[in-house]
Amino acid sequence: MTRQTDVVVIGGGQAGLAAGYHLRRQGVDFVILDAQTTPGGAWQHAWDSLHLFSPAAYSSLPGRPMPVQVGEVYPGAGHVVEYLAAYEQRYHLPVVRPVRARGVHRDGAFLRVESDSGTWRAQAVISATGTWWRPFLPAVPGRADFAGRQLHTVEYRSPAHFAGQRVVVVGGGNSGAQIAADLACNTELTWVTQRPPRFLADDIDGRALFDVATARRRALESGQTDTGGVASLGDIVAVPPVRAARDAGLLKAQPMFTRLTPDGVEWADGTRAEAHAVIWCTGFRPALSHLAPLGLRGPRGHIPTLGTRSVAEPRLHLLGYGDWTGSASATLIGVGHPAREAAQQSAALVR
Ligand code: FAD
């Protein structure tokens, strides 16, 4: 059966919901298809101790501020899941679950979305499928020979699963630093980063990052020079557990090893560290396989965009994947602005 609507949003995480909020205001007919069985997008799969790096007031989607989590300055992932579930109810967002979009195709004046639960035709599609679903692991020699456990950030849950073990954590971003801090007290930890870790100043959290990202967007929009964005400040937000582990001297990073051996890792000078487990906190790629039939893939697996709109297929918007689809668009507070742009431009095609 083929259903007809004005706009199909693919993905019901925070980006898809923000798009829904603005589409509702535009007065168009739309549906949000989400592959998960329950609300919350990637947040429902986060590790147990994950907390936001911004207070609730700086972690809100358009229209409805995130309530403060009692007893916490930085809300936990479970609190975000509750907020997103309440958000979609509050705005009666038409999320259909679980529905996985398999392919988006050109179909005359329409785009056709084929899914595991039928087909939708629409004048515009907003893709908001996130990155969590495409973990990236670097090609390191010996990876297949390592006899211990290898897992990615997406599979890590709690230090209880590694108590007393020798664990190598790879990655100098926020995930790597937070998971290393999580494991520092009850494992024999080796933390490995490609370059020396760059901690942001202790008084800088997501609030300041958002302000810097906003200043950059405004500068670029008004034709001024690029202010450099948040990357110029450092990589790791010193959230309280990271700060505590670092200050206790438990977060000393080693340079990247050159290969894995059957029982651990080895550096270029022959130094070795034994390991029961290697946790790859090495990032993500955008989950875009459902867009493959449109043939839009550009450099680095990205689809070239102008704002959120695909350059080669103007009926398609990409939302929430990172700065290439809008400054800070992969954050709760930052996705509102590009979501409005995607909704307005999609609605303009309908009228
Ligand atoms: P997701 O939450 O991944 O939602 C996408 C949805 O689309 C999912 O429900 C998925 O199942 C669905 N989907 C995927 N493919 C399909 C398909 N083919 N068909 C249908 N549905 C599909 N941001 C902050 O603002 N503050 C923070 O403190 C913060 N900390 C972070 C910490 C970590 C470790 C990580 C990884 C990210 C953090 N972020 C933070 C960034 C960001 O807020 C999250 O990555 C967020 O989950 C992105 O939301 P999204 O809606 O784009 O994607």
**SS (HEC) of the chain:** CEEECCEEEECCCHHHHHHHHHHHHHCCCEEEECCCCCCCHHHHHCCCCCECCCCHHHCCECCECCCCCCCCCCCEHHHHHHHHHHHHHHCCCCEECCCCEEEEEEECCEEEEEECCEEEEECEEEECCCCCCCECCCCCCCCCCCCCEEEEHHHCCCHHHHCCCEEEEECCCHHHHHHHHHHCCCCEEEEEECCCCCECCCCCCHHHHHHHHHHHHHHHHCCCCCCCCHHHCCCECCCHHHHHHHHCCCCCEEECCCEEECCEEECCCCCEEECCEEEECCCECCCCHHHHHHCCCCHHHCCCEECCEECCCCCEEECCCCHHHCCCCCCCCCCHHHHHHHHHHHHHHHC
**Which architecture does CATH list for 149-199+235-280?**
3-Layer(bba) Sandwich (3.50)
Which of 26-30, 60-64, 176-180, 326-330 is predicted with the least confidence, judged by mean pLDDT? 326-330
| Range(s) of the chain covered by CATH 3.50.50.60 | 2-134+285-350, 149-199+235-280
Q: Is 36 in the pocket of ligand 1 (CB under 6 A)?
A: yes
Q: Is 33 in the pocket of ligand 1 (CB under 6 A)?
A: yes
Task: From the CA of 16, give the closest atom in ligand 1.
Answer: 51
Q: Is 175 in the pocket of ligand 1 (CB under 6 A)?
A: yes
Closest C-alpha residue for ligand 1 atom 23: 331
Task: From the CA of 47, give the closest atom in ligand 1.
Answer: 34
Torsion, Cα 235 241 243 249, to 10 degrees, reads -110
Residue 221 to residue 3: CA distance in whole angstroms: 38
8 A C-beta contact, residue 259 and residue 145: no
Q: Is 7 in the pocket of ligand 1 (CB under 6 A)?
A: no
User: Domain 2-134+285-350 belongs to what topology?
Assistant: FAD/NAD(P)-binding domain (3.50.50)
Of 311, 312, 320, 322, the residue nearest 343 (C-alpha) = 320
Amino acid letter, residue 57: A
The two beta strands, 95-96 and 30-33, are parallel
Give me ligand 1 centre to Cα 14, in Å: 7
pLDDT band at 1 (very low <50, low <70, confident <90, very high): confident
Whole-number pLDDT of residue 299:
80
pLDDT band at 228 (very low <50, low <70, confident <90, very high): low
- Average predicted confidence (pLDDT) for the chain: 93
Task: From the CA of 42, give the closest atom in ligand 1.
Answer: 2
**For residues 300 and 74, which has the higher predicted lDDT (pLDDT)?**
74
Give me ligand 1 centre to Cα 335, in Å: 11
Task: From the CA of 130, give the closest atom in ligand 1.
Answer: 53
Q: Is 130 in the pocket of ligand 1 (CB under 6 A)?
A: yes
Whole-number pLDDT of residue 116:
97
pLDDT in tens, 70-121: 999 899 999 999 999 999 999 999 999 999 999 999 999 999 999 999 999 9
Q: Is 275 in the pocket of ligand 1 (CB under 6 A)?
A: no
Which of 29-33, 52-56, 73-77, 215-219 is predicted with the least confidence, judged by mean pLDDT? 215-219
Closest C-alpha residue for ligand 1 atom 31: 52
pLDDT in tens, 181-209: 999 999 999 999 999 999 988 887 777 76
